[in-house]
Amino acid sequence: MKRIFLGLFTAAFMLLIFAANSYSTPAFARKYRTSCATCHNGFPKLNAFGEAFRRNGYQFPGHADPEFIKEDPVELGSDGNKRAFPDAIWPGSIPGTSPIAIFLNSEVDYNPKYDPADATTAERFTFSGLGNSIETVAAGTFGDDLSFWGQAAFNQDGLELNRIFLIFSNLVGDSYALNARVGVFEPSLFSFSTHRAWMEGYWLTTRPFSDDMAWSIEETQKGLEANGMLGGRFGYSAGVVEGFGNVHSDKDFYGHVTYKFGGLPLDGVIQGGPAPNNPQPYIDNSLTLGAFVYRGSAALGSADASQYDHFTMTGGDVNAFYSRYNFFGGIGIRSDDQPFVGTPGQSANTTVWFGELDVTVFPWLLPGVRLESWHSQNFDTGALSSYTDTQIVPGIVALVRPNVKFTLRTSLAKYGLSGDTKYQFHQVALMLAVGM
């Protein structure tokens, strides 16, 4: 334990030196001249107002965007073009300043299971993750009801592109009842944004199953999604995508519905308009429930494989806020008809769930803990036995500045397939993220 604390203290000291001159603000903070805490509770996690901002196509609720923009956009055409349409191009705009935000990411790792006699184990303590990636995010609007998002990461493996899409808002009326996303995005299967985790990714959304090894519901997928909000409290989404991982023999389909009780409505519209200057934006006494279904078919082995796995995942989610506490979680129940190459006819069922409690002790100090479970039950030929994996992920977020964040987290896990009967510590990570 002394080695662990000494190592973490050294890592924190080194990361503080690295972060000393890294104070700046992301693109939306520049656009509206406001703090990151307006939309985030320990970025990238969203608070209630930030969720409404996202659902409204990265615009302030209640069509109040023009009132809060502090950097005027460059107009592409005049309002007169609207009256002249279709004999004129519908006017738009581009951001007046760069819409690009940059995130600098670093990580220091400690491996409690290090074995000097085993060359396959990771180093006990390593600085190799310092400066491990630079992530760029471009986001903004092209005038009313047209928004964009683009994300790229530069790391040791090169350039990785993901989540590049356009949002068409208010296709019917002006209440965000029908919107559309087209491009590369994560399917909207939960009432909260699962890729904005404080700590590491959730098993439910990142862990693949079967010989379609790369597929998970969180991975970026190419396609089209329709979504919207009705009455401010009811939300829905439905999409058709190419799928991810092995070649999917046809398009995948999914749908999600959600309802929010109490707190700020999903669309962020309250009597008197939006309230972005809430002194405690992390408090939103509310309960949000949701349910989803995802259906797909993947070719196993290769694109011209004769074996296809038809799978369906159904599940639900809950997101509850009370005072400074936020409990949220999700469950997915997956059924595959023949998920393993060379064993046609062997079906499998998988159940995965998680629950997480995050606490805002102070606006800059946010501990949390997650419990998650993965259970696989295989039938017919019995080539693989059933197993259950469980994991506890504790962590704490500290905001040195609104855009400079340290995250300390670890995991205790036991894996049923390998016969582990006790929880064991896995990698301890101290991470730094800087947004500018």
| Residue range 297-353, pLDDT digits in tens | 888 765 555 678 888 999 999 999 999 999 999 999 999 888 777 777 788 889 999
Give the chain's domains with CATH numbers: 2-25+101-134+152-435 (2.40.160.10)
Find the largest Cα–Cα distance for the chain: 77
**Cβ(370)–Cβ(199) below 8 Å:** yes
pLDDT of residue 286: 95
| Residue range 37-52, pLDDT digits in tens | 888 888 888 889 889 9
pLDDT of residue 20: 34
Other Cβ atoms closer than 10 A to 76: 14
Coil, helix or strand for 2?
Answer: helix
pLDDT of residue 86: 85
CA dist 17 and 434 (Å) reads 13
* 54-69 b/e (C-beta count within 10 Å ≥ 16 → b): bbbbbbbbbbbbeeeb
Distances (CA, A) of 130 to 134, 151, 153, 199: 11, 21, 15, 17
Reported pTM: 0.85
Residues of the chain with pLDDT under 70: 1-26, 113-122, 210-214, 272-277, 301-306, 379-385, 418-419
User: At residue 54, what are phi and psi to the nearest 5 degrees?
Assistant: -65, -45
pLDDT of residue 10: 41
